[in-house]
Amino acid sequence: MSAVAFSALESALEETPIAYDGLSADVDEEGYQLETPAERIRTDQLETEALSEFAPWVQNWWYWRRECEVRAPAGRRYLRMLERAESMAVPERMDALQEGIATEWGELTLNTSVDHEGRRRYTVRHTADAGGADLEQLESPEDARALATFDAAGRYRPLKSAPTLRRGWSFTEVTAESLVRIIGYLYPASIPNWNREQTGTLDVSHWQPTAERQTGIYGIIEELDLAAVDRIAATCCVDEECLKRREWEYDADTALSADGGAGAFPCREPCSLVVAAARKWTTLERESQETYQIDLTPSEASQLSAIIDAVADGATGEIREADVGEGANRYRARYLREKLFGEEDSLPLRPKQGLLRRMLRGLI
């Protein structure tokens, strides 16, 4: 069962003693010495039958030191987190891996298991499909890139961390190297950024330095004040819109009041979508406010709120065709448009006297 691992250990000890995850092993003229927190043994031969108590330890060493293709520290720390390597001792961990250890990552549930020789294998699914059958089996990590490109309705996903990942697929028992690449396509840079956070080296770039860095058409976003930036964070960065956990604030001394979310991995600076949207809001915020007047019934006034809510929450598709009780129902909106717009192509909002009065005051 563990012949591969013990044979590798024998070869390794010809070079140097080993110490890994609680297992120490050495060889001298008197034979092999193996030690774990539970046990210590001297033996002439690394016969696997006789050393069955050590088998999980040796398999674990073999997998991480010889077999696992992932060498980058970020990837390795991530993989070890997936099997709770820092909190679970080897025998307990190997038992748990037989059953599988589940971890949520964005909308994914990753299941880590182990084969009879100690090799880790990973299954990746949408959390909503975690126990599901009839899933399309994906093979190549590049399949994950295609998966991440469109949502279930076939719309392009410009933000990979939006909670709109399609369901109905599975990567089943893939290698560690494939897993890291799959995560790299589904949640780009989430592993290295998580790793930096774990090691206290996450390079957060707050709103202010990010805005100051911009050039070209985005140079103007520096104009936005704290209140506007707070609105942007509440608009774009909450968990309903993005599963990264926002760690950037207005600046190093000024926190934003918007909720940063509870995501597993951090967001270290305003992303390109936020910057591009902020440019639009910058130009919109340059306009000064006016007071408008419009005549509405109380129900029509609350209907306007319902329409804004439905659009902002992406809920228009959920309102049933004939549910005229909903203010944001399509027929209700069409009726309101007929009534309010008349022959015009937009709401008949009239600047209230204030504008005229201010102009006159300017003249006087």
**Residues lying near another protein in the complex (CB under 8 A):** 71-72, 74-75, 142, 145, 149-150, 156, 158-160, 184, 188-189, 191-193, 196, 203, 205, 213, 215-216, 268-269, 271-273, 276
CB of 261: closest distance to another protein in angstroms? 17
Residue among 40 and 155 whose Cβ is closer to another protein: 155
Residue among 208 and 303 whose Cβ is closer to another protein: 208
Task: With CA atoms as reference, report the closest residue to 126 among 8, 258, 243.
Answer: 243
Residue among 119 and 145 whose Cβ is closer to another protein: 145
Residue among 252 and 349 whose Cβ is closer to another protein: 252
62 burial level (CB within 10 Å; 0-12, 13-18, 19+)? buried
Cβ within 8 Å of residue 263, ≥6 positions away:
106, 161, 239, 242, 243, 244, 245
CB of 159: closest distance to another protein in angstroms? 8
CB of 116: closest distance to another protein in angstroms? 30
Residue among 87 and 215 whose Cβ is closer to another protein: 215
CB of 301: closest distance to another protein in angstroms? 34
CB of 138: closest distance to another protein in angstroms? 15
- Interhelix angle 55-62/90-99, nearest 10 degrees: 80
CB of 157: closest distance to another protein in angstroms? 9
Are the beta carbons of 194 and 238 closer than 8 angstroms?
no
Separation between Cα atoms, residue 243 and residue 271, nearest integer Å = 13
Task: With CA atoms as reference, report the closest residue to 222 among 289, 278, 287.
Answer: 278
Residue among 65 and 84 whose Cβ is closer to another protein: 65
Residue 104, helix vs strand vs coil? strand
CB of 234: closest distance to another protein in angstroms? 20
Q: Kind of pairing, strands 120-126 and 108-114?
A: antiparallel
Backbone angles phi, psi at 351, to 5 degrees: -55, 130
Separation between Cα atoms, residue 267 and residue 274, nearest integer Å = 12
Residue among 18 and 159 whose Cβ is closer to another protein: 159
Q: What is the dihedral of CA 81, 87, 90, 95, to 10 degrees?
A: -80
